[in-house]
Amino acid sequence: MNFSVLQFPASNCDQDAVHAIRLLGHSAQLVWHKDASLGDTDAVIVPGGFSYGDYLRCGAIARFSPVMQAVKQFADNGGLVLGICNGFQVLTEAGLLPGALIRNRDLQFHCENIFLKTATSDSPFTSKIPVGKILRVPIAHGEGCYFADEETLAKLKANNQILWQYCDASGNLTDTANPNGALQNIAGICNEKRNVAGLMPHPERACEPLLGSDDGKWIFESIFAALKNKTVAAAA
């Protein structure tokens, strides 16, 4: 499978995402923010960082870059798009995902390992995560507090769009396990069509034991499996 990893000015997890995908046996290419085309690609990663210096609001400027118009079209056609950290912020700003990410409730930048509970296996981003497995992955953000109005939140719940929630080591969704004050401990969600997802934690930084955890690979393995199914379906 071939992944396109976007590169904005001040993206800084683009190389990590490329590394993780190659490590897991697939290919990845970087796509510059001024490119109007994604080229030949099976899935898109919008990586972490501080695109355009986080000026105005995180992700606010990046969403208007030429490459994002291509991503929008790719997503509209059912393509798989995963936004990580700043990438999640970009996708909410672009309206590809509902809600917004605001300043952490304690005003601090959090750089630490957290625990994630997968709320549903019914998505191309979670299907291969072993049932009941609590993922240990790092976060590194100052604006990761997920917010959505009540109506949107109710819709997210009704449609099973909440994919990951912050929890403690045993999987309890406690307030102390919530690093940023996100509503309902939300760490990641998907859109209604389930082909676009975003999360604040960094699975690409946790794909090999050398880095302390390889739990992040389950998210990528889910995407690989979804793409494989799609290819098989298309060939049949």
Residues designated catalytic:
85, 202, 204
Residues facing residue 186 across a β-bridge: 165
> Cα–Cα distance between 93 and 117 in angstroms, integer?
25
Site for other proteins in 57-76 (CB under 8 A): 57, 60, 64
Q: Are 97 and 194 in contact (CB under 8 A)?
A: no
Nearest to 65 by CA among 26, 41, 31: 31
> Cα–Cα distance between 34 and 153 in angstroms, integer?
34
Q: Among residues 100 and 226, whose Cβ is nearest to other proteins?
A: 100
Among 51, 86, 92, 161, binds other proteins (CB under 8 A): 92
Measured N-to-C along each axis, helices 217-235 and 14-23 cross at an angle, to the nearest 10 degrees, of 70
Q: Among residues 86 and 104, whose Cβ is nearest to other proteins?
A: 104
196-199 vs 186-190, strand pairing mode = antiparallel
Q: How far is the CB of 63 from other proteins (least distance, A)?
A: 9
Among 147, 168, 173, 221, binds other proteins (CB under 8 A): 147
Q: How far is the CB of 122 from other proteins (least distance, A)?
A: 25
Q: Among residues 7 and 180, whose Cβ is nearest to other proteins?
A: 180
Task: Report CA Rg, the chain.
Answer: 16
- What is the torsional sign of CA 217, 155, 170, 13? positive
Q: Is 187 in the site for other proteins (CB under 8 A)?
A: no
Q: How far is the CB of 213 from other proteins (least distance, A)?
A: 29
Q: Are 224 and 24 in contact (CB under 8 A)?
A: yes
Q: Among residues 60 and 134, whose Cβ is nearest to other proteins?
A: 60
> Cα–Cα distance between 117 and 129 in angstroms, integer?
10
Q: Which span (78-86, 101-109, 194-202, 211-219) binds other proteins, by CB under 8 A?
A: 101-109
Task: Count the residues of the shown chain that bind other proteins, applying the rule CB under 8 A.
Answer: 19
Q: Which span (46-54, 103-111, 121-129, 158-166) binds other proteins, by CB under 8 A?
A: 103-111
Q: What is the dihedral of CA 211, 50, 129, 68, to 10 degrees?
A: -140
Q: Which span (91-99, 119-127, 191-199, 221-229) binds other proteins, by CB under 8 A?
A: 91-99
Binding region for other proteins (CB under 8 A):
56-57, 60, 64, 92-93, 99-100, 102-107, 145, 147-149, 181
